[in-house]
Structure 1
Amino acid sequence: MSHGHSHSHGGCSHEATDVDHALEMGIEYSLYTKIDLENTECLNEETDGTGKTVFKPYEKRLDHSKFVQSDADAELLFNIPFAGNIKLKGIIICGANDDSHPNKVKIFKNRPKMTFDDAKTKADQEFDLTRDAAGEIEYSPKVVAFSSVHHLSLYFPSNFGDDNTRIYYIGLRGEFSEAHYHGVTICNYEARANAADHKDKVFDGVGRAIQ
């Protein structure tokens, strides 16, 4: 009896581990919530606005009802601004298990409004991709190179042989920090402090210095 109980307990434990892993991945791959989607653009998308739909929760990576497909040829270029700074640690690219899956990605940091001509230049890093219909393969960018990123561009130049490239999910893992504007805060504080606490003569001197 005890042996049977042990097996049963092991099964429950294994299931719990799977659930925990999914939850953990969902938390780690939450950088999509920090994307400025309103200003995100995808060049050469067949249908306007569909490029933004691939940035979604990890648990919805296998939802094939939303995807982006290239239009004139196999190329796709994403320009992705963030609401602050990120440290990029991992990328998942999920497509179909066929020739429409992209076979390469070039990654550029902090170069807003990139064009296809810009994307032909040397990238900060690039990866040869494997077909990944399950969203299980993670590519790890160099953390040193991607430690302070406020804008990310992803260029997919080709696929495995289809006329058009299709992507269902792009996952981004890493750390996020708010953008701070210390200079503005300090300037405002000094102006208020001088006006309230200092004599006119001193304040005038500071005023002239600020001007």
Structure 2
Amino acid sequence: MPRDHSHGCGSECNDHDHIPEAQGHRDNLYTRIDRDNIVALNAEGRASSVIKPWNERMGEEVYLESDADDQLILRIPFTGSVKLRALLLKAGPGDQTPAKVSLYSNADALDFSEISDQKPTQEFEVPQGREVGEYHVMSAKFPATTSITLFFPASQGADTIRIYYVGFLGQWSERKSEPIIAVYESRGNPADHLRLRGLQGATAP
């Protein structure tokens, strides 16, 4: 399995080597992806089709292919907050392999008109091959990720790019509700408070 060793991966690259095939990676985030809300831009096919169970990762019958040219954007939301450890990717074949993949954390609104002006959180070159590549990210850059945007800016020579499988490794936690912001006053001003309906002259606590 191709791996990227240039980003401080160290010994953690080998912590899944002997996991049973049926189980896959202990920290595979497949069940934590919000598949109903995945968005693909400039793509032929269903956006969620490349989010497959671990045991289907090598299949090539179902894929996502770029449409008008060899660029593609894939926005993938999670059902909670993720500390990302690695991207899993199977693409190609041959010249239809993307030259690289750029990852953007929590950048839900990026499109082609602006993504090239934004610095990616991290990016990787993609080698040609029929295996699933494993790209270890700098976890400190993805500490509380609720969505990942993948940008494939060009192929390795073909008119289109093709993606067969996208997966992620990491730690998932339930998304915390929006914080309640309380403003504490040293001296209350009745004029600043809403009056409760039906209580004349009384103010809300």
Instruction: Confirm or deny: 8 A CA contact 1:82 1:151 kept in the other structure.
Output: yes
Corresponding residue number in structure 2 for 1:152: 148
Match status 1:46 vs 2:44: yes
Name whichever structure is richer in strand by fraction.
Answer: 2
1:41-190 alignment runs, 5 A limit: 41-47=39-45, 49=46, 51-120=47-116, 121-135=118-132, 137-181=133-177, 183=179
Q: Secondary structure at the match of 2:139?
A: coil
TM-score for both structures, normalised by structure 2? 0.75
Paired amino acid for 1:77: I
TM-score for both structures, normalised by structure 1? 0.73
Instruction: Confirm or deny: 8 A CA contact 2:93 2:162 kept in the other structure.
Output: no
Paired amino acid for 1:25: G
Larger Rg: 1
Which of residues 33, 36, 51 is equivalent to 2:34?
Answer: 36
Root-mean-square deviation (CA), in Å? 2.3
Structure 1 residues 59-103: Cα deviation after superposition (integer angstroms, max 9, x where no partner)? 211111110000000011011111110011011210233110112
In structure 2, relative to structure 1, the CA distance for the partners of 1:20 and 1:34 (3 Å cut) is closer
CA distance in 1, matches of 2:92, 2:145: 29
Name whichever structure is richer in helix by fraction.
Answer: 1
Identity of aligned residues (%): 31
Instruction: Confirm or deny: 8 A CA contact 2:92 2:98 kept in the other structure.
Output: no
Paired amino acid for 1:165: I
Displacement after TM superposition at 1:35 (Å) = 1.4
Aligned length: 169
Match status 1:25 vs 2:21: no
Displacement after TM superposition at 1:118 (Å) = 2.5
Q: Which runs of 5+ in 1 are unaligned?
A: 1-17, 185-206
Instruction: Confirm or deny: 8 A CA contact 1:101 1:165 kept in the other structure.
Output: yes
Paired amino acid for 1:113: A
Paired amino acid for 1:138: E
Q: Secondary structure at the match of 1:64?
A: coil
Q: Which runs of 5+ in 2 are unaligned?
A: 1-16, 181-202
In structure 2, relative to structure 1, the CA distance for the partners of 1:19 and 1:126 (3 Å cut) is closer
Displacement after TM superposition at 1:115 (Å) = 0.4
